[in-house]
C-alpha cells in the first residue's frame, strides 16, 4: 500500500510540468494573533508550515542599556515595562536581585505583601493569557469573562499602589507602602469567588470537543527538548518537568505557605493550558494563606545605606536630609562590587536579573533573562510541520509578551 502510494506520488511529480514552491507568508508584526509585534515568516506548503522564522526587536527600547545610566532606584519603573502584563513580578524580580547584591534582608511583612502581589500579578497575567489564547482559537466569550475578573484585580492594584498596569510598587528593601486591612479583606473576598470564575472559563472550553481537537497533540515538546531549549515556567511544566523557582530557590514568602507545582504530561498545548488553569487555583490558594498568615510589622528593611531615609526624619534632621540628597542624586554609593544572577518565577517563566556592580550607584551592566525571549526561540520547534491554525495555538500556549522579549 505504502509502495503504491509512493509510486503514485513519484509518478505525479514526474508528470507534473509545473514547478511548485513554498508560499512565504509574512505573519506580523501587525497581526491579530501574534500578541503584539512578533513577526513570523512562514514558508507554507499548502497550509502546512515548512519553516518558521521568528523576527523580534520591534519593541526594543534598550531597557538594559538605559539601566546602566539610572541608579538602582530609578530602574524600578523601567522593569515595569518588561512584561507589562505582570509588572509586579518584574518589580519583585529586580528588587530581590538587588537586595541579594546589597545583602539586605527584607522584613517579613514585606515578604508576605510581595508574595500576595506577585501571585495577583500571576493571576492577572494568566487571565490575559487565557483570554487571548481562547480568542485565538475562536472562543471569544472567554476573553471578556477573563477581563471582567482582571478589572477587579486591577482595581485592587490601583488601591494598593496607585497604578493599574505599571505599578512600580516594590522598593529596594521593601515595598512602596503598606497594605491596609480593608484592602486585604477585599482581596480575600475576591479569592473566595475566583475559583468559581475559573470553573466558568472551564465550562466554556475545558471539555469542549472543538477545544480539545485544537489543542491536544498540537505543539508537542518533550521534557528533554524543553529543558534543552531552556524553556521555563508553565511552558516547561506542561512537559512534565516540575521545575519552579518558587519551590527550588524560594524567595519572598513562598516557603512559608503550602502549595503544589502543577505539571502536565504530554507537553502539548492542552497540557500547558491545564497547567496554567491549575496555577490559577494554586495562586489563589497562596494569596489566601498569605492573607491569613500575614504578620504585622514594618515594611522597610533596616539598611540605611541603600534605602531612602524616613520622610519625617528628612524634614527634621540635617543628617538625614543630606543622606537623602546623596542617595537620590548619586544612588547607593556603598553598593558592593561584583556580579549576581538572581532568578524569580514570573508568570511566564524564569525571570533572571544579572547585575554587574562596580561599586557606584548604578549597575555597570544589567542583563535580563526573560522567559518570552527564550520561548520565542523555541517556536520553530513547536510549529514546523503543523498547520497555520496550529501556530496560532502554539504562540498562545507559550504565552509571550514582546515587551519582555525585545526589552
**Region from 4-12, 19-27, 245-253, 369-377 binding other proteins, contact rule CB under 8 A:** 19-27
State in angstroms the smallest separation of the CB of 338 from other proteins: 24
For residue 321, the tally of other CB atoms under 10 A from its CB is 14
> Which one of residues 86, 161, 226, 405 is an interface residue with other proteins (CB under 8 A)?
161
User: Residues 385, 386, 387, 390: is their CA dihedral positive or negative?
Assistant: negative
Task: Scan for cell 543628617, then name that residue.
Answer: 319
**Using CB under 8 A, which residues numbered 325 to 344 contact other proteins?**
325, 328-329
Judged by CB under 8 A, does residue 178 bind other proteins? yes
d(CA 269, CA 238): 8
Residue (233 or 403) nearer to other proteins, CB: 403
> Which one of residues 31, 216, 256, 365 is an interface residue with other proteins (CB under 8 A)?
31
Residue 403 corresponds to which cell in the numbers above? Answer: 515587551
**Using CB under 8 A, which residues numbered 342 to 401 contact other proteins?**
387-390, 392
For residue 177, the tally of other CB atoms under 10 A from its CB is 13
Residue (331 or 352) nearer to other proteins, CB: 331
Judged by CB under 8 A, does residue 204 bind other proteins? yes
> Which one of residues 141, 266, 360, 377 is an interface residue with other proteins (CB under 8 A)?
141
Residue (185 or 260) nearer to other proteins, CB: 185
Those residues with Cβ within 8 angstroms of residue 189's Cβ, 6 or more apart along the chain or in another chain: none
**Region from 220-228, 242-250, 296-304, 346-354 binding other proteins, contact rule CB under 8 A:** 296-304
Those residues with Cβ within 8 angstroms of residue 31's Cβ, 6 or more apart along the chain or in another chain: none
d(CA 220, CA 394): 9
Judged by CB under 8 A, does residue 217 bind other proteins? no
d(CA 1, CA 406): 50
> Which one of residues 213, 248, 292, 338 is an interface residue with other proteins (CB under 8 A)?
213
> Which one of residues 37, 90, 99, 107 is an interface residue with other proteins (CB under 8 A)?
107
Judged by CB under 8 A, does residue 33 bind other proteins? yes
d(CA 161, CA 312): 21
For residue 355, the tally of other CB atoms under 10 A from its CB is 24
Judged by CB under 8 A, does residue 158 bind other proteins? yes
> Which one of residues 51, 60, 159, 365 is an interface residue with other proteins (CB under 8 A)?
159
Judged by CB under 8 A, does residue 193 bind other proteins? no
Q: What are phi and psi of 349, to 5 degrees?
A: 150, -155
Q: Mask: binding to other proteins, 111-140, rule CB under 8 A, as x and -?
A: -----------------------xxxxxxx
d(CA 191, CA 46): 47
State in angstroms the smallest separation of the CB of 166 from other proteins: 7
Sheet with 363-369: strands ordered across = 338-346, 349-357, 363-369
Is-contact 263 233, C-beta < 8 A? Answer: no
Residue (80 or 406) nearer to other proteins, CB: 80
State in angstroms the smallest separation of the CB of 308 from other proteins: 6
Judged by CB under 8 A, does residue 2 bind other proteins? no
State in angstroms the smallest separation of the CB of 341 from other proteins: 23
Judged by CB under 8 A, does residue 47 bind other proteins? yes
Residue (297 or 359) nearer to other proteins, CB: 297
Is-contact 62 407, C-beta < 8 A? Answer: yes
Judged by CB under 8 A, does residue 7 bind other proteins? no
> Which one of residues 75, 187, 220, 236 is an interface residue with other proteins (CB under 8 A)?
75
d(CA 119, CA 286): 7
State in angstroms the smallest separation of the CB of 67 from other proteins: 10
Judged by CB under 8 A, does residue 311 bind other proteins? yes
Judged by CB under 8 A, does residue 51 bind other proteins? no
> Which one of residues 319, 337, 359, 385 is an interface residue with other proteins (CB under 8 A)?
319
d(CA 158, CA 263): 32
d(CA 103, CA 264): 37
Residue (3 or 334) nearer to other proteins, CB: 334
Give the residue from 290, 288, 241 showing the smallest Cα distance to 263: 241
DSSP state, residue 168:
-
Amino acid at each position: 500500500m505504502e509502495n503504491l502510494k509512493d509510486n503514485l506520488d513519484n509518478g505525479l511529480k514526474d508528470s507534473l510540468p509545473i514547478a511548485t514552491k513554498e508560499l512565504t507568508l509574512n505573519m506580523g508584526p501587525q497581526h491579530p494573533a501574534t500578541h503584539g509585534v512578533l513577526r513570523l515568516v512562514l514558508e507554507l506548503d499548502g497550509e502546512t508550515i515548512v519553516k518558521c522564522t521568528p523576527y523580534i526587536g520591534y519593541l526594543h527600547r534598550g531597557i538594559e542599556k538605559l539601566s546602566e545610566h539610572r541608579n538602582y532606584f530609578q530602574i524600578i519603573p523601567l522593569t515595569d515595562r518588561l512584561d507589562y502584563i505582570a509588572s509586579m513580578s518584574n518589580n519583585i524580580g529586580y528588587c530581590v536581585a538587588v537586595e541579594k547584591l546589597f545583602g539586605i534582608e527584607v522584613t517579613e511583612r514585606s515578604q508576605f505583601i510581595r508574595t500576595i502581589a506577585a501571585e495577583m500579578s500571576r493571576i492577572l497575567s494568566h487571565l490575559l493569557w487565557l483570554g487571548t489564547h481562547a480568542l485565538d482559537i475562536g472562543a471569544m466569550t472567554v476573553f471578556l469573562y477573563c477581563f471582567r475578573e482582571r478589572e477587579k484585580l486591577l482595581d485592587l492594584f490601583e488601591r494598593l499602589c496607585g497604578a493599574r498596569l505599571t505599578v512600580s510598587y516594590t522598593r529596594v528593601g521593601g515595598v512602596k507602602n503598606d497594605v491596609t486591612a480593608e484592602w486585604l479583606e477585599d482581596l480575600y473576598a475576591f479569592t473566595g469567588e475566583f475559583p468559581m470564575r475559573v470553573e466558568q472559563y472551564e465550562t466554556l472550553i475545558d471539555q469542549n470537543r472543538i477545544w480539545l481537537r485544537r489543542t491536544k497533540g498540537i505543539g508537542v515538546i518533550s521534557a528533554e527538548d524543553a529543558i534543552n531549549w531552556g524553556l521555563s515556567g508553565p511552558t516547561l511544566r506542561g512537559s512534565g518537568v516540575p521545575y519552579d523557582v518558587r519551590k527550588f530557590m524560594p524567595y519572598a514568602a513562598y516557603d512559608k505557605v503550602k502549595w503544589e507545582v502543577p505539571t502536565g504530561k504530554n507537553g502539548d498545548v492542552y497540557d500547558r493550558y491545564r497547567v496554567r488553569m491549575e496555577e490559577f487555583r494554586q495562586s489563589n490558594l497562596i494569596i489566601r494563606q498569605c492573607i491569613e498568615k500575614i504578620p504585622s510589622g514594618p515594611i522597610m528593611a533596616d539598611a540605611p545605606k541603600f534605602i531612602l531615609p524616613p520622610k519625617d526624619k528628612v524634614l527634621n534632621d540635617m543628617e538625614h536630609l543630606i543622606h537623602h540628597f546623596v542617595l537620590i542624586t548619586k544612588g547607593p554609593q556603598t553598593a558592593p562590587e561584583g556580579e549576581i544572577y538572581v532568578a524569580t518565577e514570573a508568570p511566564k517563566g524564569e525571570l533572571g536579573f544579572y547585575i554587574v556592580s562596580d561599586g557606584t550607584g548604578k549597575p555597570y551592566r544589567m542583563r535580563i533573562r526573560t522567559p518570552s525571549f527564550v520561548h520565542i526561540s523555541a517556536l520553530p520547534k513547536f510549529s514546523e510541520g503543523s498547520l497555520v491554525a496550529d501556530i496560532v495555538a502554539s504562540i498562545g500556549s507559550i504565552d509571550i509578551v514582546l515587551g519582555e522579549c525585545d526589552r
